Structures are given as structure tokens and as C-alpha cells.
Amino acid sequence: MATYTPNFPGSNSIVEESWLDGRAKGQSEGKAEAVLHVLKARGIEISGSVRERVTECTDLEVLESWLDRSLSVTRAEELFVGE
């Protein structure tokens, strides 16, 4: 008996990989924006160097850690303590 394996346009191709890369980029950008938003909402000053470091980060685990820390730090630079 033959097995049917669908082959949709773009599956297992550069198009699919590009879509996944774009999705990961969007997720990291969203987390970075959330970190900065929480700091701003809490009235914490965000220097250019902190803003740059947060927005250039693409590691979702690191960004998640910074998001958690953004809820309790007193200075934006404290996001990076221990790294």
C-alpha cells in the first residue's frame, strides 16, 4: 500500500525557513518591546545603551529573563546583572 505524502508549495524549502526565521525575529522584537514598555510604565529611565542592548537581543530565553527582571529592578541596567 502506498503512503501519500503531501507536498505543499514552500514546505521544507527556503520559503518555509524564511517564514520561521521571520517568526522568531518577530517574537524577539515583541519581547524586547515588552521589556522596554514595562520599564517605561514603571517610570524607570532607559539609557540609549540599555535600549540598544535590549532591542538587538534575539535570544528569547534572555529576553524572557529580562522581562521578568523588568518587573522589579530599580534601574534599567540591573536587567543585565549576572550576565
Whole-model pTM over 0.85: no
Angle, in degrees to the nearest 10, between helices 48-56 and 14-41: 150
What are the sequence ranges of the domains in the chain? 27-80
Record the cell numbers describing residue 4, joined without a space. Answer: 501519500
17-74 confidence digits (pLDDT tens): 564 566 667 789 999 999 999 999 999 999 999 999 999 999 999 999 999 999 999 9
Q: Collapsing DSSP states into helix, strand and coil, what is residue 12?
A: coil
